[in-house]
Structure 1
Amino acid sequence: MTVELLKADILSGTQHGFFTRKGGESSGIFEGLNCGVGSSDASDIVLANRSRVAGEMAVVEDALVGVHQYHSAEVVTVDAPSTERPKADAMVTRTAGVALGILTADCQPVLFADKEAGVIGAAHAGWKGALDGVLANTVSAMEDLGAKRANITAAIGPCISQRAYEVGPEFYDDFTAKDPEFSRFFANGTDDRMQFDLPGFGLHMLREAGVEHAEWIGHCTYHDEARFYSYRRTTHRSEPDYGRLISVIRL
């Protein structure tokens, strides 16, 4: 089966793709294109999947770079192919031939481009990273490489949708303590539970960072099992592990 990658209209003219789980070599609970080097899937299979992604992006395997993601607001600048994975949750580059790959399984994969400046970025933005400023920090790091905020476009890929993202009152309190206006990203759920709009919040934070041209391409990772891995779905089923989707952008 061939791999499937989704595109964002807003990033047209830039090589990118939000890869689904289709077309990989993993099996069992990881069935498909699991690119998570931190998963318990067989490492040779994960590397084979990542090699397939690199091929789709027309780069050598070492040029598909990543980071050791830990739900932070840290951003690193990449200037050459590397197999190292520094601790961070976003990357930026202006180096041709380098592909930035972000892993997700419900969190937001966000791809950025300033086509005029030749600067790109990629961020892993779960609720914590988004709240702590990973998206704004990515924009700032792109500026350091010569990008202009007014020229940056950004696309949020497949992630968990509001109807699938039930949270407790303490989660709501964390957001509204930072800004009472953040209450608008929550809808009432059952009893004291609420439904959080992660992509809506991501778009808000992008616009607050000066990115006027941003969109969510849609697709809920939780509700479309045939195409996407989901940490929350795995948790609800008490499964031992889950696959990771990869989203990639390159110059």
Structure 2
Amino acid sequence: MTLPSVTDPALAGLPHGFFTRAGGVSTGPYASLNASLSGGDDRAAVMENRARVARALGAQAEHLLGLTQVHSADVVTVTEPWAPGEGPRADALVTRVRGLALGVITADCSPILFADHAAGIVGAAHAGWRGAVAGILEATVDAMAALGADRARIVAVVGPCIRQPSYEVAADLRDAVLARDAADSRFFAAGRPERWQFDLAGYCAARLRSASIGAVAVTEGDTAAEPDRFFSHRRRTLAGGGSIGHQISGIRCDA
């Protein structure tokens, strides 16, 4: 079956997708393509969901690799597969090994997929606001360059995430972002008293453009505002809590 996903022309020719919550076998709050092994979902269901994603990317199930994501600026250079659920603590992966697929899990944070088509090097990053401020995106570009990618050829696509109209934040987040660069106030729109609306996708795209890579694109999709398409931590929180699934975004190295 074909899994619903968001793709982008900047990555044309490379198997990739920002997958939605549809097309899997999980039930209840995890319905249906929950791809997170760290939640309370049935492991067998998650493994089947991830196998479906791997097939959609043209990879073997055991070659779809993920991380233990910790909102860091740490990047792993992948040379061989590891067991499901045993990924290193980091928030981005890069590889030039043909056939490996790199995946990141999100439920409002930004998933970013990278490629230098000519060099056959790909990357995937998970960027919440903490990781983005800390430099996870630039670190991913640096790791790709260390493998032989040309920065001027690297393309990066920011996938579906919580968008500015849905992302109300308080002074602590705004202060942390502005402590790095006061000019980034442009990513905050006025909201309720002592609250702002943060443009996470725009912030990530701007950080990537500042890294002097070849091209940056931003897809459609607001995870918090589209319950039929995406899981959302913010939506779950506003509803009073409970279990939650996570979508996956992935890209396969096809050098």
TM-score (norm 1): 0.98
Counterparts of 1:3 and 1:145, CA distance in 2: 31
1:230 to 229, 232, 254: 232
1:128 to 105, 127, 130: 130
Partner of 1:75: 75
Unaligned runs of 5+ in 1: none
Counterparts of 1:122 and 1:180, CA distance in 2: 28
The question of whether the paired residues in 2 share the 8 Å contact of 1:2 and 1:22 is answered with no
Write the letter of the residue equivalent to 1:110.
I
Q: String of CA shifts for 1:123-150, please: whole Å, max 9, x gaps.
A: 0001000000000000000001000110
1:159 to 145, 158, 161: 161
Write the letter of the residue equivalent to 1:113.
A
Counterparts of 1:109 and 1:9, CA distance in 2: 16
Counterparts of 1:147 and 1:123, CA distance in 2: 16
Counterparts of 1:177 and 1:91, CA distance in 2: 27
Q: String of CA shifts for 1:34-70, please: whole Å, max 9, x gaps.
A: 0010111111111111111111112111100111001
Q: Give the superposition deviation at 1:2.
A: 4.7
TM-score (norm 2): 0.96
SS of 1:113's equivalent? strand
Q: CA RMSD in A?
A: 1.0
SS of 1:58's equivalent? coil
SS of 1:29's equivalent? helix
Counterparts of 1:183 and 1:127, CA distance in 2: 14
1:92 to 91, 94, 115: 94
Counterparts of 1:148 and 1:58, CA distance in 2: 26
- Residues paired across the two proteins, number: 251
The percent of aligned pairs where both chains have the same amino acid is 47
Query: Which 4+ stretches in 1 moved above 6 angstroms?
Result: none
Partner of 2:39: 39
Counterparts of 1:66 and 1:147, CA distance in 2: 22
The question of whether the paired residues in 1 share the 8 Å contact of 2:2 and 2:56 is answered with no
Partner of 2:18: 18
Counterparts of 1:214 and 1:14, CA distance in 2: 16
